[in-house]
Amino acid sequence: MALSETKSTCDRMKASLDFMTHAGPRLVSRQPAIQKSWVALTMNHFCIIIDSQRGYSRLDRCLEAVAHAGNTISGPVDIVVIVDKARARIVTLAERHNAQLLERSGGTRGQRYNACANRTQANTLVFIDSFVELPAGWLAWAERAMYERRWDAVALTMLSALKPGWLARIFHSSTDTMALSIKRNWFERVGGFDADREYGSESDLLARLSACHARVLNQAPEGNRAAG
């Protein structure tokens, strides 16, 4: 692909970015101190965005792993959970793990992620599903890869053939993105997630990043690396 054509593609992607619907999501928080950091922009400020609308059965384990991961990196970390409704149990879980809730009913995963990304000025965005437990040390490793080794995005991927059966039923492609950490400037440059996609939105974003010559690093979980 010629350089001019690639630049044109990236420009069209950026022009197509539409983070919010007219109604917009509603942020639910009982923690004013965290609310202030929600809009702060500092170096290596991470915002971890968890989409829970495919189910809440493993949300507690997911939040526990994310909260632990947040303590392993140098910069501030916001944790935001996208929910269709702020039920009492979910509010309790969020408070326990120092997270915020973002109410957003309906729409695709691409729309949900984009809407949440638009609510933060963090310079690093991390997207994960509520069924995923971040491996110990992965977030700290991703931070080093992005800010010491100059990668623009880091993805945690797993082959479907090696996923547990319950996880394979949730993710549908042959190679799935379990977690995605991306620098905000690149997220905006390619236009965010495809608003029409519910499944495969992370893989699609990674493909567009590569098309625009972003430096993308894929990592498989420890038990999956030999196959990757």
Structural domain boundaries in the chain = 3-227
Instruction: Give, as one character, the DSSP assignment of residue 135.
Output: P
Instruction: Give, as one character, the DSSP assignment of residue 72.
Output: T
> Which pLDDT tens digit goes with each residue over 85-144?
988 999 999 999 999 999 998 899 999 999 999 999 999 999 998 888 888 899 999 999
> Which pLDDT tens digit goes with each residue over 12-42?
555 444 433 334 555 554 443 334 344 344 4
Burial of 185 from C-beta contacts in 10 A (0-12 / 13-18 / 19+): exposed
CA 25 to chain centroid, in Å, comes to: 17
What is the model's pLDDT at position 27? 56
Q: What is the chain's Cα-based Rg? A: 17
CA-wise closest residue to 46 among 173, 189, 147: 147
b/e per residue, 77-109, with b = 16+ CB within 10 A?
Answer: bbbbbbbeebeeebeebbeebbbbbbebeebbb
CATH number of the structural domain 3-227: 3.90.550.10
User: Which band of pLDDT confidence, cut at 50, 70 and 90, is reported for residue 8?
Assistant: low
Evaluate if residue 169 carries a pLDDT over 80: no
> Which pLDDT tens digit goes with each residue over 37-61?
443 444 689 999 999 987 788 899 9
